[in-house]
Structure formats: structure tokens, C-alpha cells
Amino acid sequence: MNKGFFDTFRHNFAKGKFLYFLISILLYILLSPFLKNFFGIHTLLDIFLSAVLVSGICAVSEGKYDTLIMVIFVFPTLVTIWVLHFIQLPSLALVSNCLSILIFGYTMIRILGFIFKSKTVTSDVIFAAILVYLLIGITWGIIFRSMETVQPGSFSIGEGLEQYQRIAFTYYSFVTLTTLGYGDISPLSPQAGTLAILEAIIGQLYLAVLIARLVGTHISHSRKNKGP
């Protein structure tokens, strides 16, 4: 009976893994700023970030190799994230950021592989495409935060955002990714400016290539269904 339950759970999770992953990311992005007055903001962000990291690897896990990746990278990342609540070390925070970047990068590569191997445009493909775009924004937010840790003063942060740097850099990342450019946060160093330019270029190229891929896949599938 237990085996049947776990098989059913595994099957249901596999069917909706990208949707669950998408929900965890949206919770991380959207809810954290609104709940900061009810919970400790750093604790809340780390809860959501932990959920995103674990659900991301679970979403792309397909064998022993992926499980090994989870053990090697995800577990140490989670440990460093929560140890930082007790020991405030900039070097440890930087290690945690770097590990998170590696995990998200690996996750994006695996999801992109799924998108470009798909022969039809299904809901999973659409969810996967949205996930990659959101992961680009989150990852670049961590990169910007790491840059500020390594080179303090790399960014000019507007009044009211300084005490919430984690939220501020995620916000700045998505503003850059979508090329809105509000100007309340801006790069001051050449390195920070280059990273901002690179994210903006990646965001625009991703949308262009992705839309072309999805449209091409849909047209190809439609022609096959119509036959000669």
C-alpha cells in the first residue's frame, strides 16, 4: 500500500513538476516583500529560496546523476544559507551565492534541453519556458548581490531599498531583464554595468529565440497532424 502511495505521488509530481517549481518561484518573488512585516525578512527569503532550490533540482531530476548533483551542490548550499543566520561571514555568504548560481545555471540548462527536445507545445513546455525566464532574473539578482559583496559601492541603491538588499537586487535584476530601467538602482562600477548590459541582452535574445522555437514547433506539429 505504501509503495502504491509513493508511486502515485511520484507520478503526480512528475506530471506537474514544472508547475510546482513555477509556484515556488512566484512565491519567492511576489510574496516576500508583502510578508516582510509579519516574519523576519531574511528568514522568509531563505525559506522560499530553499524551496526554489530543492524544487528546481527535483523538477529536472531524471536519474542517479541528478541525485548526485543534488547531494553535491544543493545540500551544502542549504547548509550555508541557514548557517548564515547564526554566523555572519561575508565569505560564507559569497560561497552560498556562488553555489546557488551554479544550481540555478544547471537547472536552466536542463530545462532548456527539455524545451528544445519537445516535439509539441504542451503546458509543461510553456511552464518550462516561463521558468527559465524567471530563473534568469533570480540568478542575476544573486550575481548582482555577489558583486556588491566583493566590490562594495558597485551599485547606487535608492532610499528605502538599502535595508532590503536581497529584495532590491532581485527587483533590479528583473527591471534590467525587461529593460524597464526605472533608475532607482543603477550600476556605478564598469563591472556592474557590464553585468547589467549582459543580462539585458540575454533577456531579449531569450525571448526572441524562445518565441521562434515555440512557433516553429507548433507549426511543425500542426502540419504533421494535417498530413499531406
Domains with residue ranges and CATH for the chain: 2-226 (1.10.287.70)
User: pLDDT 10s digit of each residue in the chain, 228 long?
Assistant: 445 533 443 444 455 678 888 888 888 888 777 766 565 666 777 777 888 888 787 777 766 776 777 778 788 888 888 888 787 777 888 888 898 899 899 889 988 988 888 888 888 888 888 999 999 999 999 999 999 989 998 998 877 766 678 888 989 999 999 888 787 889 999 999 999 999 999 999 998 888 888 887 767 766 666 555
What residues contact 202, with CB distance under 8 A and at least 6 apart?
136, 177
109, exposed or middle or buried, with CB in 10 Å at 0-12, 13-18, 19+? exposed
Amino acid at 146: S
Residue 81's CB is within 10 A of a number of other CB atoms, namely 22
pTM beyond cutoff 0.95: no
163, exposed or middle or buried, with CB in 10 Å at 0-12, 13-18, 19+? exposed
Give the C-alpha distances (Å, rounded to integers) separating 13 from 18, 25, 39, 122, 143: 9, 16, 29, 17, 30
Amino acid at 84: L
**Which 3 state secondary structure label does DSSP give 128?**
helix
What residues contact 28, with CB distance under 8 A and at least 6 apart?
45, 48, 49, 51, 52, 138
Strand partners, 156: 186
Q: Are 132 and 115 in contact (CB under 8 A)?
A: yes
